Amino acid sequence: MAKLIDGKAVAASVRAGIAQEVAAMQENDGVTPGLAVVIVGDDPASRTYVNNKKKACAEAGIYSEEYALPATTTQQELVDLVQTLNRKQDIDGILVQLPLPKGLDEKAVIEAIDPSKDVDAFHESNVGRIMIGNFHFLPCTPAGVMELLRSENIEVAGKHCVVVGRSNIVGKPMAMLLLHSNGTVTICHSKTQDLPAVCRSADILVSAVGKAKFITGDMVKPGAAVIDVGMNRDENGKLCGDVDFASVEPVAGYLTPVPGGVGPMTIAMLLKNTLAAAKLHCKAEEK
């Protein structure tokens, strides 16, 4: 029977620590970290995420601004806004909520963000920094996964870590973070042969494929730590992950539930990145 990793509790602890650091920064340096969130169009899921991020900022003492643009916004208008935010002294982090409406070039928008304000860590220069291990920020979801593993003292070094999914947002950076922690890493995808066998060899299994109940109990090594990054709807419209909880829970040693596992960590790590960006800008001003 797996021990459930409580992402809500770990995230609350991380956020409490951030709030203390923010208060200290305000008192000692007179600086309040600032985050600008840009949302284009009226996607309901994106609106929920943005509202949650604003609320989390307020609780941590981080200043936040929202820029809600219509779906008819042009590429140039969006890039112009990003460049304006790059120049704003009171903004340390810029987050453009994805996905963007059709017709807008996400890659070009991300590349327009000042890398020192790229708190999603999606800019090419930040991706390169993650690759070589010399980073200022980490992508929020993979960083949250690492925090969850640390919270349970799950050792990564020397373990076989299997990541299912190769997206730029989760799969690839997840693999790099596990590698930086001295895990032996296998990345699986749609062309992987005998995927169940590869998954069964994992001491730490991270699933980020976006397919409901994709990972089943017969794909899990007994006692393995299983991290479910998926956020899907099952046949009844109920929120579920990539992992078939009912069949995996009796086999795994550790398991993240959905909801309440990785999800809360993502926003906690966004706050952590915004604080890190503020510290970076303070240091730059001191020089």
193 an active-site residue?
A: no
**What gap in Å lies between CA 206 and CA 256, rounded to an integer?**
10
Catalytic residue among 53, 159, 172, 221: 53
8 an active-site residue?
A: no
Quote the tokens at residue 286. Answer: 């001191």
97 an active-site residue?
A: yes
Catalytic residue among 92, 97, 117, 213: 97
Burial class (CB in 10 A: 0-12, 13-18, 19+), 37: buried
**Closest by CA position to 208, among listed 258, 160, 157:** 258
Catalytic residue among 120, 203, 228, 242: 120
Q: Which residues are catalytic?
A: 53, 97, 120
